[in-house]
Amino acid sequence: MSKGWNADDITDQTGRTAIVTGGNSGIGLITARELLRHGARVIIGCRNEDKGKAAIEQIASDLGTPGIATGIEVRRLDLASLDSVREFAESVDADLPDGLDLLINNAGVMAPPRLLTEDNFELQFGTNHLGHFALTGRLFDTLKRKQGARIVTISSVAATMGKLDFDDLQSVEGYNRWRAYGQSKLANLVFAMDLQSLIRQAGLDMASIAAHPGVSNTNLTAAGNDLDSGWLGLLSKPFLALSDLLIAQDAAHGALPTLFAATEPGLTGGEYIGPDGLRQYRGSPTIVAPRRLALDSGTGDRLWKASTELTGVEYDFSPASPAA
pLDDT averaged per 10 residues, the chain (length 324): 82 98 97 98 97 96 87 98 98 98 97 97 98 98 98 96 96 95 98 98 98 80 36 44 60 97 97 95 96 96 98 96 64
- pLDDT on residue 3: 66
Question: Contact 107/79 with Cβ under 8 angstroms?
Answer: yes
CA–CA distance, 13 with 249 (Å, rounded to integer): 26
Can you state the percent helix, strand and coil of the chain, rounding each to 5? 50, 15, 35
What predicted TM-score, i.e. pTM, was given to this entire model? 0.91
Query: Exposed, middle or buried, 161 (CB in 10 Å: 0-12/13-18/19+)?
Result: middle
Q: How far is CA 229 from the centre of its chain?
A: 25
- pLDDT on residue 201: 98
For residue 244, is it within any domain? no
Question: Contact 52/81 with Cβ under 8 angstroms?
Answer: no
CA–CA distance, 71 with 95 (Å, rounded to integer): 14
Number of structural domains (the chain) is: 1
Report helix angle 230-246 to 219-226, nearest 10.
150
Question: What are the backbone dihedrals phi and psi of residue 200, each rounded to the nearest 5 degrees, phi first?
Answer: -65, -45
For residue 292, is it within any domain? yes
For residue 2, is it within any domain? no
- pLDDT on residue 218: 60
For residue 233, is it within any domain? no
- Can you give the residue range of the structural domain that contains 276? 8-215+251-308
Query: Exposed, middle or buried, 277 (CB in 10 Å: 0-12/13-18/19+)?
Result: middle
For residue 78, is it within any domain? yes
Task: Report the amino acid identity of residue 70.
Answer: T
- pLDDT on residue 321: 75
- pLDDT on residue 184: 98
Question: Contact 106/210 with Cβ under 8 angstroms?
Answer: no
Q: 206: which strand partners? A: 149
Per DSSP, the residues of 287-320 read E-PPPGGGG-HHHHHHHHHHHHHHH------SPP
What is the CATH number for 151?
3.40.50.720
Residues with a known catalytic role: 181
- pLDDT on residue 268: 97
Per DSSP, the residues of 268-281 read -SS-EEEE-SGGGS
Per DSSP, the residues of 180-199 read HHHHHHHHHHHHHHHHHHHH
For residue 318, is it within any domain? no
For residue 167, is it within any domain? yes
For residue 51, is it within any domain? yes
